[in-house]
């Protein structure tokens, strides 16, 4: 089954993204509370622009595809609780990014490690969960309202930032565009 993208090209329509509120079942680096909070944030952000379900367009080092994502209608309380748009966009992007790397790469979050401003997630294939030596750091960026040009610009900037890092290891960069229904991904090898 295929759909046409914005350029008129046919792209395959794949299985839906994993249920956002149940990621913790397969992602040991997520607690149930954090998983549900991120999923709620994703629902609030998606509901600003779309009605559930929506087909999101995924691109990266794999064949472009579309995957459906669904979410419950956010309650008024949830919308108020996620009134800080920056926090909601960041945490909602975490939820969709973790679902996307599971769907496209078979990677799941094995650790959440704190940083000064938040936390980094580390993802690895099932069975490689004993340490972080070969895990990918998940570098996530969310955009509430964006077009393709700004989304690609943000992706390039994040790739450059990660590539110019100083030995933090291999990373997956994911940019989520909520209004555009887009998830753009890239792999960055840190060779330092």
What's the min distance (Å) between Cβ of 81 and another protein? 10
Q: Which of 7, 15, 33, 189 binds another protein (CB under 8 A)?
A: 33
Q: How far apart are CA 146 and CA 5, in angstroms?
A: 17
In terms of DSSP bridges, do strands 2-4 and 62-69 run parallel, antiparallel, or are they unpaired? unpaired
- 186, two tokens: 């890239």
Q: Is residue 192 at the binding interface for another protein, with CB under 8 A as the rule?
A: yes
Considering only residues 161-190, where is the footprint of another protein by CB under 8 A?
A: 165-169
Number of H helices, E strands in the chain: 4, 9
Give Dmax over CA atoms of the chain in angstroms: 48
20 forms part of the interface with another protein (CB under 8 A)? no
Nearest-angstrom CA–CA distance, 10 and 125: 30
How far apart, in whole angstroms, are the C-alpha atoms of residue 148 and residue 169?
28
Euclidean distance between CA atoms 3 and 57, whole angstroms: 10
Q: What distance in Å separates the CA atoms of residue 107 and residue 36, rounded to the nearest whole number?
A: 19
For residue 112, the minimal CB distance to another protein (Å) is: 5
**Cβ distance to another protein smaller for residue 28 or 64:** 28
- Smallest separation (angstroms) from another protein to the CB of 101: 18
> Given candidates 20, 42, 111, 143, which one binds another protein under the rule CB under 8 A?
111
Closer to another protein at the Cβ: 29 or 74?
29
Q: Which is nearer to another protein, 71 or 122 (CB)?
A: 122
Choosing from 27, 66, 67, 112, the residue that interacts with another protein (CB under 8 A) is 112
Binding site for another protein (CB under 8 A): 28-29, 31, 33-34, 37, 110-116, 119-120, 122, 129-133, 165-169, 192
């Amino acid at each position: 089954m295929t759909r046409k993208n914005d350029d008129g090209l046919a792209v395959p329509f794949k299985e839906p993204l994993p249920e956002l509120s149940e990621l913790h079942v397969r992602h040991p680096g997520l607690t149930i509370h954090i998983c549900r909070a991120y999923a709620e944030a994703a629902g609030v952000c998606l509901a600003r622009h779309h009605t559930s379900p929506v087909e999101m367009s995924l691109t990266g080092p794999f064949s472009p595809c579309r995957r459906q994502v669904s979410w419950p209608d956010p309650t008024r309380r949830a919308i108020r609780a996620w009134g800080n748009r920056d926090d909601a966009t960041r945490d909602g992007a975490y939820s969709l990014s973790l679902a996307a790397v599971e769907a496209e790469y078979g990677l799941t979050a094995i650790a959440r490690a704190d940083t000064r401003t938040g936390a980094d997630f580390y993802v690895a294939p099932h069975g490689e969960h004993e340490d972080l030596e070969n895990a990918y750091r998940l570098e996530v960026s969310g955009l509430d309202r964006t077009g393709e040009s700004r989304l690609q610009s943000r992706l390039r900037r994040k790739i450059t930032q990660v590539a110019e890092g100083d030995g933090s290891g291999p990373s997956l960069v994911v940019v989520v565009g909520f209004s555009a229904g887009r998830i753009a991904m890239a792999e960055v090898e840190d060779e330092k």
